[in-house]
Amino acid sequence: MLKDYGSFLLFISLMLVFRSAVADWNTVPTGSMLPTIVEGDRILVNKMAYDIRVPFTHIALVKLADPVRGDIVVFDSKKADKKLIKRVIAVPGDTVMMQDNRLYLNGKPLVYTSQALSASSPANVTEWQEELLGIVHSIRLNPQPSQLANFGPVTVPDNHYLVLGDNRDNSADSRVIGFVPRDEIVGRSSSLVFSLDYDNYYLPRPERLMQDF
């Protein structure tokens, strides 16, 4: 019996190893990264972006690179006790501060430009383009800032990163869980595979098929 299913079991084993150490896709169940990533997106995660790891572990065999500002990273947070996806805002040695949802990095304010809401965005929010030292991305703000809209200044320690959600008033990120240790980061994401609309019978969103962030 085992011989009959040997090829199938080998395929499953290799697929699990691939998803653990090379690449995987993850479902995004919350809106903490709106408007960049929406609920129901299946994002592609490059697990070899920073390290070659022993499959099914966080043990790095070879370090390939470090996360940089602007990267969207997936990490297994011990403090949150779950897998999270956030954007790297500050790297080791950076000093960062937030005042009224506006960031200051190493003493310099980031540049913010107002942008028009997409058709699917609620009317009671604003969306801005945030320029993070050359990396431009969108963020979402509520009319009334949350209690997380101000912090710092803080300096990022060695082997740690400060990460934030793009949906700034609705994200449990480094303002809640603290700095993210380097060894908790399992990969980088820059594209999505497909997306399901939770509010429309889980139908696919064709406009979000194989899109880059």
Please give the residue range of the domain that contains residue 152: 6-194
Residues 6+ away with beta carbon under 8 Å from 89: 69, 96, 103, 105, 132, 162, 163, 164, 174
Q: Give pLDDT, residue 10.
A: 55
86 is a catalytic site residue: yes
Q: Is 209 among the domain residues?
A: no
Q: Is 201 among the domain residues?
A: no
Q: How far apart are CA 143 and CA 32, in angstroms?
A: 16
78 is a catalytic site residue: no
Which residue of the set 32, 77, 171, 189 is catalytic?
Answer: 32
C-alpha to C-alpha distances, 150 to 32, 35, 84, 166, 178, nearest whole angstrom: 18, 21, 22, 15, 14
Q: Is 202 among the domain residues?
A: no
Q: How many domains does the chain have?
A: 1
Q: Can you read off the two tokens belonging to residue 161?
A: 């990163």
Q: Is 203 among the domain residues?
A: no
Burial (0-12, 13-18, 19+ Cβ within 10 Å), 33: buried
Which residue of the set 47, 77, 86, 171 is catalytic?
Answer: 86
Q: Is 179 among the domain residues?
A: yes
Q: Give pLDDT, residue 126.
A: 94
Q: Is 210 among the domain residues?
A: no
Q: Can you read off the two tokens belonging to residue 157?
A: 């320690």
Burial (0-12, 13-18, 19+ Cβ within 10 Å), 197: middle
Q: Give pLDDT, residue 27.
A: 87
Q: Give pLDDT, residue 189.
A: 94
Q: Is 213 among the domain residues?
A: no
Q: Is 1 among the domain residues?
A: no
Q: What is the residue-level pLDDT of the chain in tens, covering all 213 positions? A: 555 566 655 556 555 555 665 667 788 889 999 999 999 999 999 889 999 888 878 888 899 999 999 999 999 999 999 999 999 999 999 999 999 999 999 999 999 999 988 767 888 899 999 999 889 999 999 988 899 999 999 999 999 999 999 999 999 999 999 999 999 999 999 999 989 988 888 888 988 988 888
Q: Give pLDDT, residue 6.
A: 62
Burial (0-12, 13-18, 19+ Cβ within 10 Å), 22: middle
CATH number of the domain that residue 110 is part of: 2.10.109.10
Q: Give the global pTM.
A: 0.90
End-to-end CA gap in the chain: 46
